[in-house]
Chains A and B, each alone.
Chain A
Amino acid sequence: MNNNIVPLHLIPCGKSAKVKEITAKGNIRRRMLDLGLIVDTIVESLRKSPSGDPIAYEIRGAVIALRSEEASKILVELL
């Protein structure tokens, strides 16, 4: 396993990462795929909300906020 692979919510703001794997199951997985979160998608971490969670990401031109519970189920490779 590559050391560069981390859950999405851990990447620093302003950095981009490439989706490697989605570990969520069922409907949550479905919703993530619908947002365009498929393998090899580039995601940029934009900003944290005032209390640090959720975090807003740019996903395929749209800005989507995800709670850390969800973002932790998306494994990415930091670019």
Chain B
Amino acid sequence: MGLTSQSTGISTLKEMLNIQLSSTDDIVLALAGNPNTGKSTVFNSLTGLNQHTGNWTGKTVTTAQGNYKFKGKNFVLVDLPGTYSLLSNSVEEEIARDFICFGNPHATIVVADATCLERNLNLVLQILEMTDKVVLCVNLMDEARRKNIGIDLDKLSDILGIPVVGTNARNGEGLEKLMEAVYKVCSGEISTKPVKIPYDKNIEAIIESIDEKIKPLISNKINSKWVSLKLIDGDKTILKSIYKYLDIDLAELNIIPGIETNQIQYSSIRDEIVSSIVKFAESISRQVVHIKNKTYNRLDRKIDDILTSKLFGIPIMIALLGIVFWITIEGANVPSSAIANVLFAIEDKLTLLFIKYDLPDWLHGALVLGVYRTLAWVVSVMLPPMAIFFPLFTFLEDLGYLPRVAFNLDNYFKKACAHGKQALTMCMGFGCNAAGVIGCRIIDSPRERLIAILTNFFVPCNGRFPTLITITTIFIAGAAKGHLQAIIATLTITGVIVLGVIMTLFVSRILSKTILKGIPSSFALELPPYRKPQVGRIIVRSILDRTIFVLSRAVVVAAPAGLIIWLMANMNINGISLLDYGAGFLQPFAHLLGMDGYILMAFILGLPANEIVMPIIIMSYMATGTMIELESMEALRNLLVSNGWTWLTAINVMLFCLMHFPCGTTLLTIRKETKSWKWTFAAFLIPTMAGITITFIVTQTVRLLGLI
């Protein structure tokens, strides 16, 4: 083995990343940085909409790529996972390291947070050890100014030996300069002279001795000094990566045992290396950062005092959740009926068209009453709440509130033997459970990640909110009038969600005590400074990234589902429709759970997308086998009552909506994430069993007590 000349490593890495180059002149850039530095804002501002996300082959880490044009050149920007360091050997860090080292980007942009420069310098210095072509982007300059933190960028550039550009990516400030600096580094107009981290004499000596041995082998493919350092550091993954990408086998040299016989304690060397970097970052920070006002973060502290206080922390959290739902419910009513009016007016026009051209009844039934009407329902019911809910949720996200939620709830998750970050993935589930499941990648420990994945479905996603909202509005709050109605509906939904959270914790604990035994792993959560949310950006991004995405998915599923349901409702065997057959079959079981066969049938047919559960229920009740128009809540209520609904039915439908099998997309995502059908099946079974058990207990108790 050893050094074989045809190293195809670099192209392999590019393939692995699936980097799309339009020509060989394209310039590839890596974008690195700590989490919470606005790295993705820099990425979005630079590339606009010219981006796509992709998975790392074989790794559960997603990365985004985009491109921008500058001075006639095409720059391909690869957004690496946000990490604090490149030394801890997590999957993200390994990927970021490998791309910078072996992917041969023309330059690496490191994004740092101006309000927390010292900690960010840690990563900058580590990257400077690996590559010369680096541009430092000190982002969030406006936040720093607001906090009276002065940063001498020129001096920082002198010390580090690389270009340093101050930016405020949210309004585009400094991005032109950043592109200019990157251009000059890539073209060689600026030659960088990265500062070297001073290590202890003993370590320098060891580095030297190893460097001598490996230098002839790796020649100048990568920085041999850095490799030596990694070897002393006891990092075995680097050997693997060097073999994989450069086809050089350094393991043969047996360097690591060699160090061990030198009688130097490993752990102390590792500490020494990290300490040197941290101390160096500290000394640089002292020279360039001037905090004019020592109490610069007093406001943040005060907000935290309230939002995470012993007394109010959790009530405020629930109240905020309630407010978000109240605004969503109140605000969605008007546009919802307006959209419904427009869409159903179009339906009438379509019907006229069918009559005019004398098209057959069944075609009209299947296409207009089946496909179109289901679509109209889904759009008019889902679009307004989503268009309100997503921006509000993104607002809280942007503000920096979600880590506080995790902070408040961590102890409960710890008691459930789960990971603290599960609170965050749970919050992501509110948007979409599939997204929540993907989000579980932020949890390192495989055991805790599985728990988070298996329990994610206990928080209702946007596909299920319409069902919950409709039922609460017409059934629970139906008796009250006007604003009181919205308030009661809000309280009910908030209650349902709190129940979902309790179930999440409860089931997590059961899993930890049974099939996924173990103790909670370490937990360090950053509470980033609060940031002023950019309202315009929030609206654009939440509508583009989330609303359109979720809605289009629902539409894609709803159209064929509408057709199938119409067919099932209209195809008769012995005068009984298929739908009735199914419902009749499910009826005895459904009755035990306080529901009826049609409802259970709707949940099963709603497997592709939960959005269509309510429409199917309504459609089944209509003698015509098509969905009614959304004329009024009163009409809907009458329809349900005349089909035997009571408050108990409503409660059970809501409970079952909260706890049943995840939708098809979520299940497929779980399969992809866990790479196991067994766990996918568990994810299917666990919430279903929970739902069946709870609705059964509720129903039987109520009936036994004679409450109904």
Contacts and interface: CB of A to CB of B under 8 A. Distances in A.
A59 B526 CA distance: 10
Given A49-B407, A67-B410, A35 B118 contact: no
**Interface pairs A-B: 3 shortest CB-CB:** A51-B411, A34-B85, A50-B313
B274 A33 contact: yes
How large, as a class, is the contact surface on chain A? 35 or more
B274 A34 contact: yes
Given A31-B522, A63-B300, A65-B524, 6 more contacts: A30-B88, A35-B524, A38-B271, A38-B274, A49-B313, A64-B525
Interface string B108-131: 000000011111001000000000
B305 A62 contact: no
B523 A66 contact: yes
Interface of B: 84-85, 87-89, 115-119, 122, 267, 270-271, 274-275, 278-279, 281-282, 300-301, 304-305, 308-311, 313-314, 407-408, 410-412, 414, 420, 520, 522-529
Contact of B527 (A36, A50, A53, A63): A63
Contacts of A31: 88, 522, 524
A64 B522 CA distance: 13
Nearest to A63: B527
A50 B408 contact: yes
A39 B268 CA distance: 12
Interface string A9-27: 0000000000000000101
A66 B411 contact: no
Interface in A37-64: 38-39, 41, 46-54, 56, 59-64
Contacts, number: 125
Contact of A34 (B116, B122, B414): B122
A4 B141 CA distance: 40
Interface string A60-79: 11111111011000000000
A14 to B, nearest CB: 10
Nearest to A59: B119
Contact of A70 (B271, B274, B523): B523
A77 B581 CA distance: 74
B304 A47 contact: yes
A62 to B, nearest CB: 5
A60 B285 CA distance: 10
Nearest to B273: A33
B88 A27 contact: yes
Contacts of A47: 304-305, 308
Contact of B524 (A25, A41, A61, A66): A66
A62 B117 CA distance: 10
Given A47-B308, A49-B408, A52-B411, A34 B527 contact: no
Given A28-B522, A67-B414, A36 B305 contact: no
A50 B310 contact: yes
B274 A60 contact: no
B414 A33 contact: no
A62 B88 contact: no
Contacts of A28: 522
B119 A61 contact: yes
Contacts of B522: 27-28, 31, 67, 69-70
A64 B526 contact: yes
B308 A50 contact: yes
A30 B87 contact: yes
A63 B526 contact: yes
A38 B275 contact: yes
**Which of B87, B308, B528, B529 has its CB near the most chain A CB atoms (within 10 A)?**
B308
Given A46-B301, A67-B522, A35 B84 contact: yes
B313 A34 contact: no
Contact of B414 (A48, A53, A59): A53
A12 to B, nearest CB: 15
26 contacts: A27-B88, A28-B522, A29-B267, A30-B274, A33-B274, A33-B275, A34-B84, A34-B274, A36-B118, A36-B119, A36-B278, A38-B275, A39-B275, A41-B278, A47-B305, A47-B308, A50-B310, A54-B407, A54-B420, A56-B304, A56-B407, A60-B118, A61-B118, A65-B523, A66-B524, A67-B410
